[in-house]
A and B are shown apart, each in its own frame.
Chain A
Amino acid sequence: MSQEENKSLFDHGQPTYAEVNEDILSVMLETGPKYWMLLGTMASIAGIFFFMPWFYQLIVGVGAAGMNRNAVWGSYLSNFIFWIGLSHSGTLLSAVLHITNSPWRKAIYRSAEAMTLFSLMTAALFVMVHLGRVWYVHWSFPIPNQMGLWPNFRSPLMFDVMAITTYLTASSIFIYMGSVPDFAAVRDASTGLRRRLYTIFSFGWRGTAREWHTLGWAYTFFAVLVIPLAVSVHSIVSWDFALSAVPGFHHTIFAPYFVCGAIYSGTAGIVTVMYCLRKFLGFERYIGQVHLDSLGKLLITLSLIWSYINVLELFSTWYGGTSFELEALSFRLTGFYAPAYWEMILFCAFVPMLMLTKKIRWSWNKMLVISILINIGMLTERFVIVATSQPRKFLPGAFGYYVPSWIEISITIGSFAIFATLFLIFIKWVPAISLYEVKETLKPLRRDA
C-alpha cells in the first residue's frame, strides 16, 4: 500500500503498533458504569418488549398476533427477512473486500461480521416466534426419531433451515478464525481468569510465520466459500415467497431483489454501527472519513440497483397483464398500505441520492440519519411484500387486511434491543477492530520508514 493510501485511512495521524493494541484492547478491558447501565437497559428492553410478549403468545397461542386466515404470514416473517438481510452486511462485505484486497475494510470488518452473527441470531428468534409451538423446532432438522418422520427437502422452508444453519455456522467460524491472533493479544494483556480463558480461545497462538501463512490461506478459503453462501441465503429466503403462486410473491426477479436489498440494508447498518463505535467507544482514530466516504458510495450504487429492480418488478407485472397480479400491484401502490410503499420508495430510492454530494457523504451525523432511514425503508419493504400480497390473493371473497397486533409491534421493538445487547456483550469479549489487520495498514516498522 502506498504512503498516500496509508495516510488517507487515518484522520488523526497514524498510531504506532503499541498504540493500536492499547486503544483497541482498552475498550475491552476497561469497563465503566455507563457500559453496565446501557447493557442493563438494553437487556431489560429486550426482556420486556421481546420475551414477555413472546411468553404471553406461547401461553395464549399465535392468535395473539394480528395474523389471520387472509394473512398467515405477518410482521414476524417480515422481521425475519429484515434481520437476515442485515446479516449480509458483514460476512459478504468482509469477504468481498478481503478478496479484492481493499485496505479500508480492515478497520470495520470485525464489527460488520459481528453484525452478521447477531442479526442472524435475531432472525432465527423470529422463526421461533412465528412458529408458535417452538418446542417442535427440532422437527425441521434431519434428526432420526422414533416416529420415522423426516423433513421434506422439496420445501423452500427446508432450504431456509439448511441455508441459515450453514450461514450461522460459517459466519461464526469466519469471525472466530479472524479473531484468533487478537485473542492472543488479549491473553498477553490480561491476567487471572481472563488470561486463562483467552489462552484457550487463542489456541496457543504465537504469531509464527507458519501460523500466519495458514490463517491467511484458511481465511481466504472461508471468504471464497462465504460469498456464494451469502448470495444463496437471501436467494433462498426470497424463494419462500417466489416459489408460491401468490400474486405479489411470484416473481423471478425476487432472488436478486432480495440479495441486493440485503446488502443494501446491511451496508446502511454498518454505517449506523460505525457511528456508534466512533462516538461511544472512541474509535475516531481508526474509523475515519475514508470509511464513511467508501460506504456512502457503495450505498448510492446499491440504492440505484435496488431502485432499478423495483421499477423492473412494476414493469414486468404490468407487462404480464395478469388480472390478479395487476390487482395486487394496484393494492400495493394505491391501497391500504400505499403510504408504507411510498415511504419505502422515498427512504430507499430518493433519500440516498443526497449522498451524491460530498458534503453529506462526509458528515457522520447526516450519514447516520440516512442509514437509519434506509433501514426503516428496508424494514417497510419486507413488511409491504408480506402484508400486501397474502391478503390479496385470487378470490375477492378472500381479500382482507393485516394489521400487526401490539404483541408483534412490541416484539419488533424488542428485537433491536436484543441485537444491541448481543453487540454490547461482543465488544467486551472480542476486539471490535482487528488489531493485526489495522497494523497491516500502518507504515511498516522499517528503519527507512
Chain B
Amino acid sequence: MVILGTFAFEEDFLAAARNLTASGFDNISLLSPLPLDEAQEVLGLGKSSPVRHFTLAGAIFGGIAGFAMAVATSLVFILPTGGRAIITIPPFLIITYEMTILFGVLFTLMGFHFVSGLPAWTDKPYLSSAGTDKFVVVVEGAAGAQVARAETIIRDAGAEEVRLEEDKQ
C-alpha cells in the first residue's frame, strides 16, 4: 500500500517525515516544489554526495585521455614545425586541461543519473501539486497495521489530505 500525505506548510511536512522515520518507516519519499535542506537531513542524505566520485573519476580519465590523444596523434601523423619537438608539453597541457573538464562534466552528468535514479519514467507515486506549492510525504510498501499507523502520523502532523493507493510495483 502507498500512503500519500499532502501538506501546505513546511514544518508540518517535516514533522510528519521525522515522526515516520522515528517510527521505523524506511521506505519514504519527501516531495517538494523546491529543495529543502531539512528534508534531506531527515532522510540522512548528508553534507556530501557520491556524485563527487564521478566528477573526480571523469576529470582524471579526461586528463589522461586528452594528453594521450595529443601525444598519439602527433606520433601517428608527424608534422615537423621549425625543428620543434614532436611531443611538446605546454600546448598539450591545454588539450589535457580542456579534456579534463569535458569528461569531468560528462561523468558528473552520469553520476547525477546514477545517484538520483533518473530517468525513472515508471509510474511512481506522485502528485502534481508537489511541483507547485504543496509538500507530499509518500510511504511505500506499508502493509497491515503499518498503513493505519502511517496514516495517523501523517494526519496528526497536519496533512491537508491523505490518499491510499495500491502499490504499483
> Which residues of chain A have a CB within 8 Å of any CB of chain B?
16-18, 21, 142, 148-155, 158-159, 162-163, 165-166, 169-170, 173-174, 177, 180-181, 184-185, 188, 199-200, 203-218, 221-222, 225-226, 228-229, 232, 236, 435-437, 439-440, 444-447
Contact, CB under 8 Å: B40 / A207? no
Contact, CB under 8 Å: B95 / A159? yes
A residues less than 8 Å from B10 (CB atoms): 444-446
A-B pairs with beta carbons under 8 Å apart, 5 shown: A149-B77, A154-B92, A209-B40, A213-B35, A445-B135
Q: How far is the CA of A188 from the CA of B33 in the complex (A)?
A: 12
Interface residue from B8, B32, B43, B79 paired with A207 (Cβ < 8 Å):
B32
Contact, CB under 8 Å: B51 / A221? yes
B6 within 8 A of A: no
Chain A residue at smallest Cβ distance from B88? A154
Cβ distance B69 to chain A, nearest Cβ, rounded Å: 6
Cβ distance A208 to chain B, nearest Cβ, rounded Å: 5
B132 within 8 A of A: yes
Contact, CB under 8 Å: B132 / A21? yes
Contact, CB under 8 Å: B108 / A218? yes
Contact, CB under 8 Å: B33 / A439? yes
Q: How far is the CA of A220 from the CA of B79 in the complex (A)?
A: 41
B145 within 8 A of A: no
Contact, CB under 8 Å: A206 / B116? no
Q: How far is the CA of A226 from the CA of B10 in the complex (A)?
A: 33
Q: How far is the CA of A149 from the CA of B16 in the complex (A)?
A: 65
> Which residues of chain B have a CB within 8 Å of any CB of chain A?
8-12, 29-36, 39-40, 42-43, 45, 48-49, 51-52, 55, 59, 69-70, 73-74, 76-77, 79, 81, 84, 88, 91-92, 94-95, 97-99, 101-102, 104-106, 108-109, 111-113, 115-122, 124, 126, 128, 130-133, 135
Contact, CB under 8 Å: A206 / B132? no
Q: Beyond A209-B45, A225-B105: 7 further Cβ-contacts under 8 Å?
A: A152-B79, A154-B79, A163-B98, A177-B112, A210-B29, A211-B118, A447-B11
A residues less than 8 Å from B105 (CB atoms): 166, 169-170, 173-174, 222, 225-226
Q: How far is the CA of A411 from the CA of B132 in the complex (A)?
A: 44
Q: How far is the CA of A23 from the CA of B144 in the complex (A)?
A: 44
Contact, CB under 8 Å: B32 / A169? no
Query: Which one of A211, A218, A446 has the highest number of Cβ atoms from chain B below 10 Å of its Cβ?
Result: A218
Contact, CB under 8 Å: B43 / A188? no
Q: How far is the CA of A188 from the CA of B10 in the complex (A)?
A: 21
A residues less than 8 Å from B108 (CB atoms): 218, 221-222, 225
Contact, CB under 8 Å: B32 / A212? yes
Cβ distance A214 to chain B, nearest Cβ, rounded Å: 4
B residues less than 8 Å from A18 (CB atoms): 132-133
Interface residue from A169, A173, A203, A232 paired with B120 (Cβ < 8 Å):
A203
Q: How far is the CA of A153 from the CA of B73 in the complex (A)?
A: 8
Cβ distance B132 to chain A, nearest Cβ, rounded Å: 5
Q: How far is the CA of A64 from the CA of B92 in the complex (A)?
A: 36
Contact, CB under 8 Å: B132 / A209? no
A residues less than 8 Å from B88 (CB atoms): 154
Cβ distance B87 to chain A, nearest Cβ, rounded Å: 10
Known: A185-B132, A211-B116, A214-B51. A170 touches B102 (CB 8 A): yes
Contact, CB under 8 Å: B55 / A225? yes
A residues less than 8 Å from B104 (CB atoms): 221, 225
Q: How far is the CA of A149 from the CA of B78 in the complex (A)?
A: 10
A residues less than 8 Å from B122 (CB atoms): 204
Contact, CB under 8 Å: A217 / B52? yes
B residues less than 8 Å from A444 (CB atoms): 10
Task: For the complex of A and B, list the 3 residue pairs with the smallest distance between their C-beta atoms, beginning with the closest.
Answer: A17-B133, A217-B49, A188-B128
B residues less than 8 Å from A200 (CB atoms): 121
Chain B residue at smallest Cβ distance from A235? B94
Interface residue from B11, B29, B118, B132 paired with A188 (Cβ < 8 Å):
B132
Interface residue from B12, B73, B84, B112 paired with A215 (Cβ < 8 Å):
B112
Contact, CB under 8 Å: B102 / A166? yes
Chain A residue at smallest Cβ distance from B114? A214
Known: A150-B73, A214-B116, A446-B9. A209 touches B98 (CB 8 A): no
Chain B residue at smallest Cβ distance from A219? B112
Q: How far is the CA of A228 from the CA of B11 in the complex (A)?
A: 40
Q: How far is the CA of A142 from the CA of B113 in the complex (A)?
A: 28
Chain B residue at smallest Cβ distance from A159? B94
Known: A17-B132, A439-B33. A142 touches B69 (CB 8 A): yes
Cβ distance A378 to chain B, nearest Cβ, rounded Å: 25
Chain B residue at smallest Cβ distance from A437? B34
B residues less than 8 Å from A213 (CB atoms): 35, 40, 45, 49
A residues less than 8 Å from B29 (CB atoms): 206, 208-210
Contact, CB under 8 Å: B121 / A199? yes
Q: How far is the CA of A186 from the CA of B99 in the complex (A)?
A: 34
Contact, CB under 8 Å: B52 / A221? yes
B residues less than 8 Å from A151 (CB atoms): 73
Q: How far is the CA of A148 from the CA of B79 in the complex (A)?
A: 12
Cβ distance B106 to chain A, nearest Cβ, rounded Å: 7
B residues less than 8 Å from A170 (CB atoms): 101-102, 105
Known: A212-B40, A218-B108. A445 touches B98 (CB 8 A): no
A residues less than 8 Å from B40 (CB atoms): 209-210, 212-213
Chain A residue at smallest Cβ distance from B35? A212
A residues less than 8 Å from B55 (CB atoms): 221, 225
B residues less than 8 Å from A447 (CB atoms): 9, 11-12
